[in-house]
Amino acid sequence: MRLAIFASGGGSNFQSIVDSTISGQLSAEVVLCVASNPSAGVIKRAETLGIPVHVLPPSFPKDYPGPDQPNELLQVLAEHKVTFIALAGFMKLVPGFLIAQYPGAIVNIHPALLPKFGGKGMYGRNVHVAVLENGETESGATVHLVDLEYDTGAIVLQEKVPVFPTDTPEILAARVLKTEHSLYPKALQIFAK
Rounded to the nearest 10 degrees, what angle do helices 41-49 and 12-23 cross at?
Answer: 20
What is the C-alpha to C-alpha distance for residues 101 and 99, in angstroms, rounded to an integer? 5
Nearest alpha-carbon partner for 2 in 99, 110, 93, 76: 76
What is the C-alpha to C-alpha distance for residues 13 and 84, in angstroms, rounded to an integer? 16
Check residue 113 and report its DSSP letter.
-
| 144 catalytically annotated | no
Angstrom CA distances, 6 to 46, 132, 160, stand at 11, 28, 24
Catalytic residue among 54, 80, 110, 128: 110
Measure CA 151 to chain center. 11
Residues 6 or more apart whose CB falls under 8 angstroms from that of 178 comprise none
Sheet holding 106-110, edge to edge: 53-55, 29-35, 2-7, 84-87, 106-110, 138-145, 155-162
Nearest alpha-carbon partner for 156 in 80, 90, 87, 98: 87
Give me the active site residues, please.
110
